[in-house]
């Protein structure tokens, strides 16, 4: 995998504005689209009939038809009226409207951004709407449909505004849009987790809804209340089709044709927000549907906005209705979340998009040159310290050495504070003595037996994540290429949960590295092998994360409430119950892998240049990348096996360590120390922030890491460290 070619935003090459789509073909395309639309309508009607015929109540198609036609007094049958009139009909109508809303929203968003990856789930809009609804219900006790809509609308507006501002900063690009959406979605998802993770009752109430489901649709009340809002959203989207067609030609030509690009974008954003907020209020967050519907419609209709919008609505309704039918039958007597079914279809669609030739016309292709032009790296400063012993000598750069010493001191301070936190009768002095085994025996027993085991587990996991992030970022020459964005963390998490499901107990630590290895192999193969175009690696990694998340959701949905609640906390990233025994495999791995990474640091520094320069210096780029990638995968997998997927540590630790050590060195040791500090500090904050309530370390890092990722996106100048 040529990670050095990752084409993420902010590299030191110039990113041209995405060119407008090519002009539509004449003649046959317009005539061919409408027969397909009629076929889509026929399929949609068939799926709607199937949805009415499948489900609880053991009411077959014949009795459903009797009820619809009111034959033989069927509507007087109270049981039939309950099953068909109050359950299946409202649920089917909701699936049709929600699917059409998300399909239209995805198509409009893709058109206005000229980006085939634009979708409400990927851009964080769903997460914003979900946070709004959960906040309204959990904090204010909102239970009405209009209350859901108001909070969903506010969260969706906030998320969409943030993402569009991020995408427009310093020139927009498709990957900036997606990664900005990932940051906003992660932060809002973390805030949602804060609201529900410590309340079993709240988790039980929201876990199906948060996953996206139509199982809670009963009666027509909610749909009747939200139908006018959906109607306004559909109307605005319809009215925006002509201005969007002009906007595809460029802002200047659109103005020449009498349109106002700013007003058009605002109208589309408002329509997308209305449709998304209503869909989330009705069925919860359902990702990938807008992406899939828009891609299928674009394949048929090309860039014609009118046909694209209509077909996307039809395809979205058909996909969601079909997924809802599958959700009822694949896990009987239980019901699978419909979002899982959609993700299993949508993630491969995302991969198909980035591998499609159409991406070249939409600004997603890499430049013609195999390697982007980069600024020359500044010459490495001469080392300040030289240690000699006989024929051996060691060169130590003063800044990197001071940075490591400062981080080690900070690490000791964080360990003492974490050991002291929550134990008021122990002062800091007594805690420090107990950490080293001195002082009162009860103090030593309390700190070393009950506190240090958890702290050591956090240190090991944080060091592993920091080192893994340093390796992947250096290989990619891109600060955004971290294990979580490459699908490694979610793959490891899914493997641990699968092992827990099979064995009946919590998964073994070795399942994490195996899952991480499987994920990176899939990403490598699907993205085209070791010589793949760089942007594919990140996008396929996002798709891999979505697939692994679907597996995680299925594993959680099949557990009892108590088991699912504890596993949900772990999948959020938690050190609760972790001790020396759990940390030992990671410590052994670090003892082996850190020296290897330090030995490879010189070759990693050479890889900051182009491959031809590295080869001329005697370094085999392909072999070094493969070896370091395997090291990073093993480290990330071990960390997940200890404390679950702790997000953003692998992103932040190398950036912070690089700022401290300077740009001339690969901060291998500094990244490990920084990662350890961040995890233990976040765990301490989670334990003491709210009295009597523990916030998992992964939620703390996610809430804080989203803004950090935004800072990285908006503040990057030149080649990433």
Residue-wise pLDDT tens digits, 190-217: 888 888 876 666 676 666 666 777 877 7
Q: According to the per-residue pLDDT averaged within each range, which of 145-154, 214-223, 505-514 is highest?
A: 214-223
Sign of CA dihedral 593, 683, 287, 556: positive
pLDDT tens profile 616-661: 777 777 777 778 778 888 888 888 878 888 888 888 888 888 888 8
Stretch among 407-411, 548-552, 562-566, 678-682 having the lowest mean pLDDT: 562-566
pLDDT of residue 76: 77
pLDDT of residue 532: 44
pLDDT of residue 234: 94
Stretch among 77-81, 288-292, 333-337, 408-412 having the lowest mean pLDDT: 333-337
pLDDT of residue 358: 54
CB 544 within 8 A of CB 346: no
* Angstrom distances, CA of residue 689 to CA of 171, 381, 421, 476, 646: 39, 43, 11, 36, 18
pLDDT of residue 26: 44
Domain residues of the chain, as ranges? Answer: 34-214+221-358, 408-482+498-508+573-715
Quick one: average pLDDT of 461-472?
Answer: 89
Q: According to the per-residue pLDDT averaged within each range, which of 8-22, 348-362, 458-472, 687-701 is highest?
A: 458-472
696 pLDDT higher than 80: yes
Q: Which is more confidently placed, 94 or 118?
A: 94
pLDDT of residue 373: 37
- Which one-letter DSSP state was computed for residue 598? H
* Angstrom distances, CA of residue 12 to CA of 409, 570, 647: 35, 39, 26
pLDDT tens profile 43-82: 999 999 998 888 766 777 877 887 888 777 777 777 788 8
User: Across-strand partners of 387?
Assistant: 394
Quick one: average pLDDT of 104-111?
Answer: 88
Quick one: average pLDDT of 371-382?
Answer: 43
pLDDT tier at 94, thresholds 50, 70, 90: very high
pLDDT of residue 378: 45
CA 674 to CA 408: how far, in whole Å? Answer: 9
Quick one: average pLDDT of 669-696?
Answer: 86
pLDDT tens profile 587-609: 888 888 878 877 776 677 676 66
pLDDT tier at 386, thresholds 50, 70, 90: low
User: Across-strand partners of 394?
Assistant: 387
pLDDT of residue 166: 75
pLDDT tier at 368, thresholds 50, 70, 90: very low
- Classify each residue of 305-329 as buried b or exposed e, where b means 16 or more C-beta atoms within 10 Å of its C-beta: bebbbbbbbbbbbbbbbbbbbbbbe
Quick one: average pLDDT of 377-394?
Answer: 56
Q: Which is more confidently placed, 320 or 115?
A: 320
Helix (H, G, I), strand (E, B) or coil at 395: strand
Topology at the third CATH level for domain 34-214+221-358: ABC transporter involved in vitamin B12 uptake, BtuC (1.10.3470)
Stretch among 52-56, 277-281, 361-365, 381-385 having the lowest mean pLDDT: 361-365
User: Across-strand partners of 715?
Assistant: none
Quick one: average pLDDT of 361-371?
Answer: 40
CATH for 408-482+498-508+573-715 (3.90.1150.10, 3.40.50.2000, 1.10.3470.10, 3.20.20.70): 1.10.3470.10
CA 188 to CA 635: how far, in whole Å? Answer: 27
pLDDT of residue 638: 83
pLDDT of residue 630: 81
Q: According to the per-residue pLDDT averaged within each range, which of 18-22, 453-457, 493-497, 560-564 is highest?
A: 453-457
pLDDT tier at 17, thresholds 50, 70, 90: very low
249 pLDDT higher than 90: no
pLDDT tier at 11, thresholds 50, 70, 90: very low
297 pLDDT higher than 70: yes
Which positions ≥6 away from 541 have C-beta within 8 Å? 485, 486, 487, 523
Percent over 90 (pLDDT), the chain: 8
Quick one: average pLDDT of 708-718?
Answer: 62
pLDDT tens profile 570-585: 778 888 877 777 788 7
pLDDT tier at 93, thresholds 50, 70, 90: very high
415 pLDDT higher than 90: no
Comparing 34-214+221-358 with 408-482+498-508+573-715, is the CATH topology the same?
yes
Work out the mean pLDDT of the chain and round it to a whole number.
Answer: 75
Residue 152, token pair as written in the block: 């969903």
pLDDT of residue 361: 43
Q: According to the per-residue pLDDT averaged within each range, which of 238-247, 309-318, 336-345 is highest?
A: 309-318
Q: According to the per-residue pLDDT averaged within each range, which of 126-135, 140-149, 270-279 is highest?
A: 270-279
pTM of the model: 0.72
Helix (H, G, I), strand (E, B) or coil at 482: coil
14 pLDDT higher than 60: no
Residue 212, token pair as written in the block: 């996206």
Query: CB count, 10 Å around CB of 67?
Result: 22
332 pLDDT higher than 60: yes
Q: According to the per-residue pLDDT averaged within each range, which of 6-20, 259-273, 590-604 is highest?
A: 259-273
693 pLDDT higher than 50: yes
Q: Which is more confidently placed, 135 or 335?
A: 135
Q: Which is more confidently placed, 470 or 479?
A: 470
pLDDT of residue 608: 64
Helices (H), 212-364: 221-239, 241-247, 251-256, 261-283, 289-301, 305-329, 338-355, 358-361
CA 6 to CA 480: how far, in whole Å? Answer: 9
pLDDT tens profile 543-564: 777 778 777 776 776 666 666 6
Which positions ≥6 away from 226 have C-beta within 8 Å? 145, 149, 278, 281, 282
408 pLDDT higher than 50: yes
């Amino acid at each position: 995998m040529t990670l050095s070619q990752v084409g993420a935003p902010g590299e030191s090459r110039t990113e041209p504005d995405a060119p407008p789509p090519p002009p539509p073909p004449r003649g046959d395309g317009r005539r061919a689209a409408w027969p397909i639309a009629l076929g889509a309508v026929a399929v949609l009607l068939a799926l709607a009939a199937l949805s009415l015929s499948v489900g609880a109540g053991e009411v077959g198609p014949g009795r459903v038809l009797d009820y619809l036609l009111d034959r033989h007094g069927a509507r007087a049958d109270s049981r039939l009226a309950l099953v068909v009139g109050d359950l299946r009909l409202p649920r089917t109508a909701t699936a049709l409207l929600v699917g059409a809303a998300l399909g239209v929203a995805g198509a409009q968003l893709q058109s206005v951004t000229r980006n085939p990856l634009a979708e409400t789930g990927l851009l964080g809009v769903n997460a914003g709407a979900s946070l709004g609804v959960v906040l309204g219900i959990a904090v204010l006790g909102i239970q009405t449909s209009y209350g859901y809509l108001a909070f969903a609308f506010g969260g969706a507006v906030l998320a969409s505004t943030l993402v569009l501002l991020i995408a427009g900063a310093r020139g927009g690009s498709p990957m900036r849009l997606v990664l900005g959406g990932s940051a906003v979605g992660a932060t809002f998802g973390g805030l949602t987790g804060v609201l529900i993770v410590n309340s079993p009752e709240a988790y039980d109430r929201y876990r199906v809804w948060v996953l996206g489901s139509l199982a809670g649709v009963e009666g027509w009340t909610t749909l009747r209340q939200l139908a006018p809002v959906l109607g306004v959203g559909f109307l605005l989207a319809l009215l925006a089709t002509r201005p969007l067609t002009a906007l595809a030609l460029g802002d200047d030509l659109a103005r020449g044709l009498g349109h106002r690009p700013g007003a058009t974008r605002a109208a589309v954003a408002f329509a997308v927000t209305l449709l998304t907020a209503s869909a989330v209020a009705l069925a919860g967050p359902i990702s990938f549907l807008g992406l899939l519907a828009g891609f299928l419609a674009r394949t048929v209709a090309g860039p014609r906005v009118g046909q694209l919008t209509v077909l996307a609505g039809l395809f979205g309704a058909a996909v969601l209705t079909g997924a809802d039918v599958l959700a009822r039958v694949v896990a009987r007597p239980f019901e699978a979340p419909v979002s899982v079914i959609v993700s299993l279809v949508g993630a491969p669609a995302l991969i198909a998009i980035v591998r499609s030739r159409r991406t070249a016309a939409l600004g997603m292709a890499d430049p013609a040159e195999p390697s982007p032009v980069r600024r020359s790296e500044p010459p490495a400063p001469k080392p300040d310290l030289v240690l000699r012993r006989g024929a051996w000598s060691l060169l130590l750069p003063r800044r990197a050495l001071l940075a490591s010493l400062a981080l080690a001191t900070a690490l000791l301070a964080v360990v003492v504070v974490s050991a002291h936190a929550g134990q008021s009768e122990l002062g800091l002095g007594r805690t420090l003595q107990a950490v080293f085994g001195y002082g009162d025996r009860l103090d030593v027993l309390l700190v070393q037996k009950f506190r240090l085991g958890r702290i050591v587990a956090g240190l090991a996991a944080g060091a592993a994540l920091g080192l893994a992030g340093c390796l992947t970022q250096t290989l990619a020459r891109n600060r955004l290429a971290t294990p979580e964005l490459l699908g490694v963390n979610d793959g490891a998490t899914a493997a641990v949960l699968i092992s827990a499901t099979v064995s009946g107990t919590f998964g073994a630590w070795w399942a994490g590295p195996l899952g991480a290895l499987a994920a990176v192999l899939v990403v490598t193969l699907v993205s085209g092998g070791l010589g793949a175009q760089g942007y594919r690696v990140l996008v396929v990694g996002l798709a891999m994360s979505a697939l692994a998340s679907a597996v995680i959701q299925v594993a959680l949905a099949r557990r009892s409430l108590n088991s699912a609640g504890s596993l949900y906390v772990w999948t959020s990233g938690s050190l609760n119950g972790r001790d020396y025994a759990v940390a030992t495999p990671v410590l052994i791995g670090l003892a082996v892998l850190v020296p290897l990474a330090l030995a490879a640091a010189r070759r990693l520094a050479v890889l900051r240049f182009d491959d031809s320069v590295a080869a001329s210096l005697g370094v085999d780029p392909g072999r070094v990348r493969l070896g370091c990638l395997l090291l990073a995968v093993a480290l990330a997998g071990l960390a997940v096996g200890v404390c679950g997927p702790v997000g953003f540590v692998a992103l932040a630790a190398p950036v912070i360590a690089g700022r401290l050590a300077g740009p001339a060195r690969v901060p291998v040791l500094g990244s490990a120390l920084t990662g350890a500090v961040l995890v233990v500090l976040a765990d301490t904050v989670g334990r003491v922030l709210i009295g009597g309530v523990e916030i998992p370390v992964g939620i703390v890092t996610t809430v804080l890491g989203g803004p950090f990722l935004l800072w990285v996106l908006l503040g990057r100048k030149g080649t990433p460290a």
